[in-house]
């Protein structure tokens, strides 16, 4: 605080974490370098290892998830892949669910090349889980609510099953965000996010996050990231920090809109199915009431009529609502999962867990609910 630091000349800190775009840092001495690399003092050496802008947002996400620490990466899939690479070995089994984001299927094909076996179950079939948890099961990975049918997995029950064989439990919390659900408090070891979605919230950045229940997990995942180079860039980290500031406000409005839209759709004669855990008739409603809070999230899925042609006509008639992939941002978006996120999935797989050719996924934004319902109504009518 002697007036020589241009950023904080007299300790008056900037209100926003500065974007540090440096890739490398000057070492004051070999002794300082040793202290940094030994972890004795906080410090930075090279961007692939760590960056102050990224580190700031990691600490904020850790606080939101009730985690000890957090590792941020270049995308949601990068975060998930870091977890799988860090903890799975040849001969291990990964237990997961058909109802996870489509790209996980592609990653499973890569994992199998390295001698990992992936067991797939239907997320709604809690009773099937015990029979598939074996001594070789090293990890259970789930999404809840799931993409795109918003099925609810009972996290505490999975924890019990994981404990039987000493497996890890990893939960993708992208749909819920920490505003609605805290999987670590329900027994998860790691929580992963596509921070591209609700955490960022504005369709203007790509990032992923892994919130860790222990410092050991953080250290192990940090090692993987440092080795493979999936460190987030500081510009995206800065936008992510800005998104986090309004997370609660956005998530509350999105959940309110999603609930209103789900209730409207459930009563519409052209809509043949609505999947949203906020509807009392939804199979996941009771579990969701227990493990979620502040509502049920901003995403829902529904079937329009009987055929894909009907669903396509409906989507093309929408005016206010955008036809685009992704979710969790300020604008309301719809897409047909079979033509987008699930395009690469074998048809038999999609059908077996309930995604139909006429299923539409809707991610509510922060518009006025009346305007959204008006738009849906004119497109359905
Ligand atoms: C639930 C879920 N997890 C992970 C991902 C992957 O995230 P990203 O696109 O940031 O890699 C997505 C993307 O849609 C998702 O919906």
Query: Cβ–Cβ contacts within 10 Å for residue 290, how many?
Result: 13
Measured in angstroms, how far is the CA atom of residue 343 from the centroid of ligand 1? 14
Is domain 247-380 classified as CATH 2.102.10.10?
Answer: no
For the chain, the structural domain boundaries read: 30-245, 247-380
Q: Report the DSSP beta bridge partners of residue 140.
A: 95, 169
**Residue of 55, 62, 75 whose CA lies nearest to 326:** 75
Which CATH architecture best describes the domain 30-245?
3-Layer(aba) Sandwich (3.40)
What integer pLDDT is reported at residue 2 of this predicted model? 52
Which of 99, 144, 147, when mutated, tests ligand 1's pocket best, judged by the most ligand atoms within 8 Å of its CB?
147
pTM (2 decimals)?
Answer: 0.96
Judge if the beta carbon of residue 168 lies within 6 A of ligand 1: no
What integer pLDDT is reported at residue 142 of this predicted model? 97
Measured in angstroms, how far is the CA atom of residue 200 from the centroid of ligand 1? 12
For ligand 1, atom 14: residue with the closest CA = 326
Residue with tokens 């409603």, as numbered in its chain: 285
What integer pLDDT is reported at residue 143 of this predicted model? 97
Q: Residues 255-272: pLDDT tens digits?
A: 999 999 999 999 999 999
Q: Is the dihedral of CA 177, 287, 261, 334 positive or negative?
A: positive
Q: Residues 116-158: pLDDT tens digits?
A: 999 999 887 889 999 999 999 999 999 999 999 999 999 999 9
Which percentage of the chain shows pLDDT scores above 70?
98
For the beta sheet containing 333-335, the strands, ordered from the edge strand earlier in sequence to the opposite edge, are: 271-275, 299-304, 359-363, 333-335, 322-323
Judge if the beta carbon of residue 146 lies within 6 A of ligand 1: no
If one compares 235 and 6, the residue with the highest pLDDT of the two is 235
Residue with tokens 């050496």, as numbered in its chain: 45
Measured in angstroms, how far is the CA atom of residue 60 from the centroid of ligand 1? 20
Query: Cβ–Cβ contacts within 10 Å for residue 344, how many?
Result: 10
What integer pLDDT is reported at residue 351 of this predicted model? 78
Q: Rounded CA gap, 103 and 82, in Å?
A: 14
Q: Rounded CA gap, 256 and 254, in Å?
A: 5
Q: What is the DSSP letter of 46?
A: B
Is 276 among the catalytic positions? no
What integer pLDDT is reported at residue 3 of this predicted model? 57
């Amino acid at each position: 605080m002697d007036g020589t630091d241009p950023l904080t000349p007299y300790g008056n800190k900037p209100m926003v974490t500065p974007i540090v775009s440096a890739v490398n840092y000057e070492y004051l001495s070999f002794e300082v370098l040793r202290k940094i690399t030994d972890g004795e003092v906080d410090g930075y050496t090279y961007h692939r290892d760590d960056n102050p802008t990224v580190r700031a947002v990691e600490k904020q996400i850790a606080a939101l998830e009730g985690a000890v620490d957090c590792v941020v990466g270049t995308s949601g899939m990068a975060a998930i892949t870091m977890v799988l690479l860090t903890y799975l070995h040849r001969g291990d089994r990964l237990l997961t669910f058909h109802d996870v984001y489509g790209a996980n299927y592609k990653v499973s094909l890569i994992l199998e090349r390295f001698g990992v076996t992936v067991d797939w179950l239907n997320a709604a079939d809690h009773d099937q889980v015990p029979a598939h948890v074996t001594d070789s099961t090293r990890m259970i990975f789930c999404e809840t609510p799931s993409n795109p049918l918003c099925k609810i997995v009972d996290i505490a029950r999975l924890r019990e099953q994981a404990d039987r064989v000493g497996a890890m439990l990893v939960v993708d919390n992208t749909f819920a965000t920490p505003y609605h659900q805290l999987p670590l408090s329900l027994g998860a070891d790691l929580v992963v996010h596509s921070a591209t979605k609700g955490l960022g919230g504005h369709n203007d950045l790509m990032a992923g996050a892994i919130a860790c229940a222990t410092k050991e997990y953080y250290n192990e995942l940090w090692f993987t990231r440092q080795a493979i180079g999936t460190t987030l860039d500081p510009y995206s980290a800065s936008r992510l920090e800005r998104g986090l500031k309004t997370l609660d406000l956005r998530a509350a409005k999105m959940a309110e809109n999603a609930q209103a839209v789900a209730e409207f759709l459930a009563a519409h004669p052209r809509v043949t199915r609505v999947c949203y855990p906020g509807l009392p008739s939804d199979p996941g409603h009771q579990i969701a009431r227990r493990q979620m809070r502040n509502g049920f999230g901003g995403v829902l899925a529904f079937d329009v009529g009987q055929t894909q042609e009907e669903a396509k006509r409906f989507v093309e008639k929408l005016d206010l609502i955008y036809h685009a992939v992704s979710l969790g941002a300020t604008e309301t978006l719809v897409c047909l999962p079979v033509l987008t996120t699930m395009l690469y999935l074998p048809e038999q797989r999609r059908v077996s867990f309930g995604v139909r050719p006429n299923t539409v996924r809707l991610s509510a934004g922060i518009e006025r609910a009346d305007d959204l319902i008006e738009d849906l109504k004119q497109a359905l009518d």
